[in-house]
Amino acid sequence: MFKHFGFIVFISSFVFSSTIFAQEQAISKEAHAKLTQQLAETIGLEIISINASPLPSLVEVVTDQGLFYASNDGQYLVQGKIYGIGGESVVNHTEESLAKVRVQGLKKFEDGMIVYPAKDEKHQITVFTDITCGYCRKMHKQMDKLNDMGITVRYLAYPRSGVKDQMGQYSQGFKDLRSIWCHEEPAVALTKAKLGSSVAQRICDKPIEAEFDFGRQIGVSGTPAIIFDNGFMLPGYREPAALLQILDSMKAES
């Protein structure tokens, strides 16, 4: 049964589907305030937005810990995905909602990304990365090939070990990424680190923690995590040719 949720089917539905969110009305201010208070007091969730969901009995809740669904009275909370299966194709409503959050959220990090631009840019991807990740290193070693294909790569930091360790101190993964982002030539420093060079420690004001928190909010759980311009996320590594095929397909269908 899961073949209906295959990647090609999803890409098609993601590009062409007209979701119900545009027609729905947001919940009332009173209900919004009550639900925000209930979720904050009971489980400590910081609410970013509350919107209507495809199911009348639930609302969509975007939080600092990700996207959830809740009953209007705040008595029930659901974490999972909602699929629409009544039309011509399967629609992942949860992914569509997260895509909007990703597109809006990425804007505030644009000035702090480490970018490897393609000379003849045809596509752009944003990748959450870490220097300790084997597939991140493999992807980075193919940067020239990606750029030659017209793919510009923008990096955001995502320390896989987390921002702080069990003692409440900044993790080594966080400190290494911060040092790279603080370098006067961060793109050079990142390449060297991914090739195995040690990282000279530096401290400056870079939004490494904010990027990590944003990644968790939008569903990143590992690296690399690739975000396309329409907000769709592709977790994991892909060969350059396969990635280009996906990008070309999405562009042709948009």
> In angstroms, rounded to a whole number, what is the distance separating the alpha carbons of residues 15 and 99?
11
> In the annotation, is 133 catalytic?
yes
> In angstroms, rounded to a whole number, what is the distance separating the alpha carbons of residues 103 and 96?
11
Q: Kindly compute the dihedral angle of the four CA atoms of residues 114, 118, 122, 126, in this order, to the nearest 10 degrees.
A: -20
Q: Where are the alpha helices (DSSP H) in 44-195?
A: 93-106, 134-141, 143-148, 172-182, 186-194
Which pairs with CB-CB distance under 8 Å and at least 24 residues apart come from 22-29? Answer: 24/51, 24/52, 25/52, 26/50, 26/51, 26/52, 27/51, 27/52, 27/59, 27/72
> In the annotation, is 216 catalytic?
no
Q: Which of 64, 73, 144, 160 is catalytic?
A: 160
- β-pair partners for 51: 60
> In the annotation, is 160 catalytic?
yes
Q: Which of 133, 137, 176, 178 is catalytic?
A: 133
Q: Which of 102, 130, 137, 176 is catalytic?
A: 130
Q: Which of 73, 102, 136, 148 is catalytic?
A: 136
> In the annotation, is 148 catalytic?
no
Hey, which residues are catalytic here?
130, 133, 136, 160
